[in-house]
Each structure stands twice: as structure tokens, then as C-alpha cells.
Structure 1
């Protein structure tokens, strides 16, 4: 197994154990509002500390980009670990057991390993560049569905980028009548993981950050999916939108929204 993936799995398991215990004792959780509809808790912060400590024990010179702590450059600036310690914080606060831990490793800008862990279901999604994607110990692939009108699409609301709301509603109005159904579950990382293992057929959203998508993008690609922005451009860390699906659904999505 890829050494980076091994460490990422170790870190995710450690943080996941802590998060599950905190979820079952939420009276001790302290939350505050970072921005409109954007929350952070002491659990997010402690989870990130646990992940960083695990990474630093193995790779003390690597750089780290965490949602809560920002960029911490190490002596090795070419290798960066990108961490979302609790993706789906609002679900966690409200007692909805749908959230995840996302960890990706980039070398010279290329993602080489990725982990998304759902600690409540004990589901570890992982990938290493060129080695395929796994759910726990089993290989996974995107669903083979060929028709958009039989596909379930996952999405999220652009609460961090309110100026995207009108654009989002245009896309939503165009897509909803043409797909089988739409899902909004509250964890972009898990949406991408679910796409990779065939539980949904596509995912699109506006206004995400790199820590929301870095791990999921590699896992989807290694599971046979395509990823771009909603205009069909290659997806990068600076993309303002994301669209991911199997090749058949991806092509139909782009055809449907090309004039928006």
C-alpha cells in the first residue's frame, strides 16, 4: 500500500475515534460561527491536531494545509497534506451522523494519495495515484449508468459564495427535470466518495475549498470517473465549481448546461 495512504488512514482512524466519542457526548461540544452558515467546533480543531500530529510523526518536514489552522509550511514545500478534519460540521452539531474526515497528499501540485473516512459507518474510502480506489479492502468503481435521466445527482448549496446563488439555481433548474433525483446530504467529501462507489451517479457544486475536494477528486478519478468544473474545464485547486460523474453522465451534464 502507498506509504502516504497508510499514514492518512492511520490519522483518519485516530481522528475518527475521537469524533465518534464526541458525537455521543455532544453536550461537551463547543461551537462558534466562522461566517454565514459556516461553523467550527472544538471537535474540528482537536481532530485536526490529531491528524497533524500523526503526519508530523511520520513526515516532520512535510507542509500541511488544514481547514482550521491554514497553511503550515515545512522544509519540504513540495509535499503538502490537505486536511478537512470534519466535513459536515453542521450535521455533527445537529446530531445528524453524516460527516467525514478528508485527507489528501499533493506532491508538486499533483494529488498522489487520498482518504475519506466516515467514522460513524466505519467506511474508509482511499486511493493512491495509479492504484485504483478502495472502500475498506474492496476495489470500487463508479456506477455504469449511461443515462442522465436515470441518474441520481448529489449537490450542495453554495453558502460560502452567496454571489453564486443565482447561477446555482439556474443549473439546478436545468438539471432537476432531466435527472432521476437530486440529493443534498451536507458533506461534499462523502458526496464524492459515494460517487466513486456507485451510490450516486454525479456530483456538482459551487464555492468549495481545496480541502473539501482534494481527496475526493483523486478517489473519483481512480474509480473511473471524470472531474471538471461545470463548464467542462479541467478541475484545479482554484476552480470555483466542480462536476464529477462517470464518463457517460459527465458528457450529458455538460451538453445540458453548455449555454448557461
Structure 2
């Protein structure tokens, strides 16, 4: 492991410790947006993660969900942090939520760590060096027939503009795929694609901290990640489709068929 991965692991593990310290406490919860929860645990966890990053990398930039959110990226080394992906799950004691820490440089992902708190699953990747789960190499599935495909998605909660088209697409996938799940944490969904548990994934209304780490893990596991136009500009685009190469192409084809062009475009391409 290089020093960047060590820093990412140290920061993410510190985040996990903080989350666990809030499990038996009464949470202070508020809506920062439509159906978009934030708790005092999110704020405290982000503070601890950032303290580790700043200690070791004081000159690096930071993009973090709760305190340093932005929709732009430079060539500088930038840490992209989601303290709790799956806050609604966490607030309701539903056991799927993650810490996500990524380092980007020259507008490309370099280092990634995602930890699913309850199962203590540590997904890691470094650009060009492969993807790992608890230290063991992982790769995307070999499923090539859509009828055998098991995929994940996320139900839109703060942007209902695509809901009618989305439901038509969802209905189609229910008919032609083996199964669909919605765990409620996009970061974890994507890591499960990397580990070969899911064959594919699609969602919209995603934010950069939802995908910055896990998408590198998928790529290093041999998978594909694009926006809904099949392009590489997905970090700030809010629309993402991923999977092994065959299932990714099938999902992308159906999205292009069922989602009107104006809704397939990236929302923000500031990256």
C-alpha cells in the first residue's frame, strides 16, 4: 500500500469508529433537502475523517458532503468524502451504510476506500493496481445473459422529474432481468458490483461523494462506469450506470431507449 491508501484507510476507519459511537445515542436529525437527512453523526464523522486527511495531507483540497460540498474539480489532489452513505438507513437502524473516502488527482480517481460499517467490509483500490475486499482481490461477475443478471438501483427521493420514465424502465428490468435490489446506499451497491455480487447498477440524483471511491473500485475490478449517455463524464453528472461490460452495455441500451434524451444528459458537467 502506498501512503495515500494508508491515509484513506486511516481516515475511513476513524469514521467507522465515530459512527459506531453514535449507535446507542439519540440522534439529532434534520432534512437538509427534500427527503435528504443529515444527523449529528454525519457531521461528527466527517469532522474526524477530515482531521486525519488534513494531518497527513495539509496541502490537498477536500470535497466533503456535509461541510465542504462543491460541484467543481481542479487538477489538484482532492479528497472526496462521504461520512455516511446511507444516512436514512443509519437513522432507522437499517444495517447498510458506508464510509467513503477517495483521492482524485488531475481529475481522475487515484485511491479509494469504502467501508460497510456493519459487516466491516473494507473495499479498496488504487489506480492500475486492482481492487480488493478485506485484502483479497475482487473482480466483477462474468454474467453475460441479461436474463441471469442481478442488479441494484436507487429510488429517487429528492428529484422526481424522471419518475414516470424511471418506473417504466424499472418495470422492464423486472421482466427481463433475474432480480433487482435497492439497499439504499449507492456506494455499497457499486462495491457489490465490483465484488461480483451484483452484475450491474443504475441510478440518478447521485452526488460526487456517492460515486468517487466506489467507481474506481469497479473499474479496478474490471467493470465499466459511464453516465447515461455512455460517456466518461459521470462524477458530477448525477446519472450513472455500471456493471460488468456486457450487463453495463445492456443497461445503457435500455436507458437510452426508455429515458428521454433531455433527461439522460448530465445535470452538471463542471468537472
What interval of TM-score do these two structures reach, taking the shorter chain for normalisation? over 0.9
Counterpart of 1:247 in structure 2 is: 245
> TM-score under structure 2 normalisation?
0.90
Q: Following superposition of structure 1 onto structure 2, how do residues 155-170 of structure 1 map, counting pairs within 5 Å?
A: 155-170=153-168
Judge conservation of contact 2:152–2:189 (CA < 8 Å) in 1.
yes
Judge conservation of contact 1:63–1:71 (CA < 8 Å) in 2.
no
Alignment partners' CA distance in 1, 2:78 and 2:127: 15
SS at match of 1:176: helix
CA pair 257-162 structure 1, distance change in 2 beyond 3 A: closer
SS at match of 2:257: coil
- Encode CA deviations 1:46-80: one digit per residue, 9 max, x unaligned: 100000000000011111011000249xxx97011
Counterpart of 2:38 in structure 1 is: 40
Counterpart of 1:136 in structure 2 is: 134
- Encode CA deviations 1:71-93: one digit per residue, 9 max, x unaligned: 49xxx970110000000001111
Counterpart of 2:178 in structure 1 is: 180
Judge conservation of contact 1:48–1:66 (CA < 8 Å) in 2.
yes
Gaps of 5+ in 2: 259-271
Cα RMSD for the two superposed structures? 1.5
SS at match of 1:242: strand
> TM-score under structure 1 normalisation?
0.94
Name which of 118, 121, 125 aligns with 1:120.
118
Gaps of 5+ in 1: none
Alignment partners' CA distance in 2, 1:257 and 1:237: 18
Judge conservation of contact 1:174–1:257 (CA < 8 Å) in 2.
no
- Encode CA deviations 1:203-250: one digit per residue, 9 max, x unaligned: 100110000011011000000000112332224222231110101111
Judge conservation of contact 2:28–2:40 (CA < 8 Å) in 1.
yes
User: Structure 1 residue 89 and structure 2 residue 87: aligned?
Assistant: yes
Judge conservation of contact 2:96–2:117 (CA < 8 Å) in 1.
no
- Encode CA deviations 1:123-163: one digit per residue, 9 max, x unaligned: 10010000000001100001111111111110001212221
Q: Following superposition of structure 1 onto structure 2, how do residues 8-87 of structure 1 map, counting pairs within 5 Å?
A: 8-23=8-23, 25-27=24-26, 29-71=27-69, 78-87=76-85
Name which of 204, 207, 214 aligns with 1:206.
204
SS at match of 1:49: helix
